[in-house]
Structure 1
Amino acid sequence: MNDTPGWASPGSSPSEGRDPGASAPADRPGPDQPAHPADQPGEQPAGPGAKWSKEQPPPGQWSAPTGQAAPDQTPPPPPPGPGWGAPPPGGPAGGHGAPGPGHPGGYGTPGPYGGWGGGWGGPPPAAKPGVIPLRPLGVGEILDGAVSTMRTYWRTVLGIALTVAVLTETVVVLLQGLVLDDTTTGTLDDPSATLDELTRALTDAMLGLGVVSLITLIGTVVATALLTTVTSRAVLGRPVTTGEAWRDARPRVLPLFGLILLLLLITAAILAVGFVPGTLLTVTVGGGPGVALTVLGVLAATVLCLWLMIRFSLASPALMLEKQGVKKALTRSVKLVRGSWWRVFGIQLLAMIITNLVASIIVIPFTFLAAALGSDGLSGFVNGTGTQGWTFLVITGIGAVIGSMITLPITAGVTVLLYIDQRIRREALDLELARAAGVQGPGPGAPGTTPGG
């Protein structure tokens, strides 16, 4: 191996085939050796013209001139590069994998600063221009990013959520007070009602529930579209007003509504396929087989619907942010979720549990307050004999508005951040986001960085 400084690897001998303990190089003629021919390359002629002294220093004490390495010594390691710290000590005693004598940090042991070896700092931190670091995210970081978006851009986020929730709940309260009144409910609960009365009451109830569901769906779609735009800007650290969010999201509202409507139709069709055969068997044959088939069919249809809904759960942000059509958005969601179904399901389930818990904490006190201020008081509400007058509907509607104002941004934010996380893991979207945010590269000097994980 070449003995030029910088070529020899740490821990290797200075040259191959040479004994470090020899008092002189093997190619130097000693006093008992005959002189070699002078024209042999690499050898010195013996005699008065030789430049070798008869008295040589003891082994192991060779010193080389400045910038040169002695034949029997390992060349000194090169100076450490900027930013990486000093490399761990090597040498014959320590080598690459074990620390040398007097040096407690090797490649495989933690050093005094928590990095690799005695000074290696580990991977550089990821850039964080906005609410999340630009790297694969953990569950806590996704939830924290959704909450941070709502907290950082609270004027825009809460303004959108409050507007949508107020409009939605106003329509719902009016429909419940005017269509689904106590007369309709009493007719459905009256065992002595005629068939015409039951049919009319059931028609009114179905119509009212359908309109309420449609209004709620429209409000959810609009809120999701606007909050998706806000969250995508928050990842880059760029604020956005409600007007800017509406201008960006307006062309995508109708396709998003079509996407959600299509998903609802798919769910209804699957549930119908699982429910109808058992019902027909129960009507025609009767007995236990029909009931068992109905239960089994509904259970299988529910599992299939859940599996499909998770696979299509990232279609909404794909449609909004990638400007895709409905079919392409569904395909993109399937591609991003493939291989990560359980992870996506767990994060979505956790977000749903958290949002429902928060909504319940807010809505339940308003419900008891509305019951207490109603005509029949708490006793009628607890016994189920109280009537749902306008006081009850208005107060519970206020509680629903406050709950939706908090839960809508969290739900939309988690979905968008989960979509971004899956694209970072599969398509290296973090590099594109860093360029879009104007981040030159990760490192301690980058603004808003956080340690990588």
Structure 2
Amino acid sequence: MSDHEWQAPGGSPQTPRPDAPSAPGGAVDPGVYGPPPPHGAWTPPPKPGLLPLRPLGFGTLLWAPFRTLRRNPAPTFGSGLVVQLVSAVATAAVVVPFLTVAITRLEGATEADADAILSGTVGGFLLLMLVPIAISIVVSAFLQGVMVVEVASGTLGDRLGFGALWRRAARRIWPLIGWTLFVGAALLVALTLLVLIVILAASISPIGLAVGITVAVLLGLGLVVLGAWIGVKLSLVPSVIVLEQAGIRTAMARSWRLTDGFYWRTFGTLFLVAVILNLAANVVVQPVSLVGTLLAVIVDPTGTGSALTITIVTTVVTLILSLLIGAITAVVQAALIAVIYIDLRMRKEGLDLELERHVEARGAGLPVADPYGPPAAHVPSGAGTPSPFGSERPATWS
């Protein structure tokens, strides 16, 4: 036994960590370990990066998405900001010119033509808004993929740049877009159903209108409860699509199974983080808006227009703050989904053991494969599995 290997009575030599620094001549520096642990003592699992390689406690689960943003801020916050800017610019590019033309036409129209122009304007506006909505769907789906890759790679100790994150997310962009469109279509169908109920009831009689509104409200509340339940059960779909290279149907089934037995824990985490983000946004934005309004009233109490500059500055500052907070919110919520996904796979499928083996093998210079593939992907099948998180490992390694 080497002088640098410690052996407890009845135990085996301590195996140096793959990442332990070497002393001259290739020997591992014994000082990196500190005092050896007592024989049989429990040692915590390693934490090479973002998450500890063990099932997460509720506190860790709750704050891990915020730590994701803090750990690698430029690529993550930059991605969220790009998404917010693209959505805002696309909406402004469509809405501003259209409304300018519409207002000009209405001002120059005769009384007889005003109703027809107004109806055409409303219809055209609704159709035109499909453009920024489509762009928002695409960029939101892309952000989901980016944050899933960031959390997965960060858990293994990697710190990817902006370009690397976007290139990896781009590989699964079409299934992500398909999933986002599916969710949007489901919401649109539910909203259309409620509107149709009110319209049909209103066509019968004024009493029917009141009944229709009541029915629509009650049905709407029921749909909210149903949507919340289904939404939590399917919340892991983006993570499965990106990390397991799964199709939409397979991802839905996987998400449904992974959340079995952990519904309320998943719901509580998603709900609490949403509340925290909403409160933080209001604490930052609302005082600025309130101060601007009070200054405008003080400077121009009679409403002559002399406080127009204050109003414009307040509006611009509020919009900028909303963009920044919107970027943070989008990043944290997307990262939270990936954190919950990894935690549930640790609990139900032993993913933490797979990640430990991956980190150890990669640190030792051994070929490795994607540790996030579905459980069946880790069964030796005679061929190596390509990994976006390392090189390739032999099929005999498990």
Same-fold call, TM cutoff 0.5: yes
Equivalents in 2 of 1:244, 1:374: separation in Å? 47
Alignment of 1:192-271 (within 5 A): 194-207=114-127, 209-271=129-191
Equivalents in 2 of 1:345, 1:219: separation in Å? 25
Equivalents in 2 of 1:349, 1:198: separation in Å? 41
Q: Any gaps of 5 or more consecutive residues in structure 2?
A: 1-7, 13-37, 363-398
2:381 matched residue in structure 1: none
- 8 Å contact 1:310–1:344 — kept in the other structure? yes
Match of 1:129 among 42, 48, 63: 48
CA drift of 1:271 comes to 3.7
Give, as a single letter, the amino acid of the residue that structure 2 aligns with 1:419: Y
1:318 matched residue in structure 2: 240
Give, as a single letter, the amino acid of the residue that structure 2 aligns with 1:202: V
1:112 matched residue in structure 2: none
Match of 1:364 among 286, 296, 302: 286
Instruction: State yes or no: 1:291 paired with 2:213.
Output: yes
Alignment RMSD, CA only?
Answer: 3.8
CA drift of 1:400 comes to 2.3
Instruction: State yes or no: 1:165 paired with 2:87.
Output: no
TM-superposition CA deviations, 1:89-137 (whole Å, max 9, x none): xxxxxxxxxxxxxxxxxxxxxxxxxxxxxx9987532221111111211
TM-superposition CA deviations, 1:294-321 (whole Å, max 9, x none): 2222222222222221111110111011
Q: Any gaps of 5 or more consecutive residues in structure 1?
A: 1-78, 84-118, 441-453
Cα 1:378–1:392 shift into 2, 3 Å: farther
Cα 1:365–1:131 shift into 2, 3 Å: same
Equivalents in 2 of 1:407, 1:298: separation in Å? 26
Alignment of 1:90-105 (within 5 A): none
- 8 Å contact 1:182–1:387 — kept in the other structure? no
TM-superposition CA deviations, 1:36-55 (whole Å, max 9, x none): xxxxxxxxxxxxxxxxxxxx
SS in 2 for 1:179: helix
Alignment of 1:343-358 (within 5 A): 343-358=265-280
CA drift of 1:351 comes to 1.4
SS in 1 for 2:164: helix
Cα 1:141–1:316 shift into 2, 3 Å: same
Cα 1:120–1:390 shift into 2, 3 Å: same
Give, as a single letter, the amino acid of the residue that structure 2 aligns with 1:341: Y
Give, as a single letter, the amino acid of the residue that structure 2 aligns with 1:422: L
- In the superposition, the TM-score normalised over structure 1's length comes to 0.61
2:72 matched residue in structure 1: 153
CA drift of 1:157 comes to 1.6
Cα 1:374–1:220 shift into 2, 3 Å: farther
Alignment of 1:104-123 (within 5 A): 123=42
Alignment of 1:278-427 (within 5 A): 279-287=199-207, 288-365=210-287, 367=289, 394-427=316-349
Instruction: State yes or no: 1:144 paired with 2:58.
Output: no
Instruction: State yes or no: 1:438 paired with 2:357.
Output: no
Alignment of 1:268-279 (within 5 A): 268-277=188-197, 279=199
CA drift of 1:379 comes to 7.0
Higher helix proportion, which one?
2
Give, as a single letter, the amino acid of the residue that structure 2 aligns with 1:169: A
- In the superposition, the TM-score normalised over structure 2's length comes to 0.68
CA drift of 1:170 comes to 2.6
Equivalents in 2 of 1:393, 1:306: separation in Å? 34
SS in 1 for 2:203: helix
SS in 2 for 1:238: coil
**Number of residue pairs matched?**
318
- 8 Å contact 1:373–1:392 — kept in the other structure? no
TM-superposition CA deviations, 1:54-76 (whole Å, max 9, x none): xxxxxxxxxxxxxxxxxxxxxxx
| Structure (1 or 2) with the larger CA radius of gyration | 1
SS in 1 for 2:171: helix
SS in 1 for 2:48: coil
CA drift of 1:234 comes to 0.6
Equivalents in 2 of 1:290, 1:379: separation in Å? 45
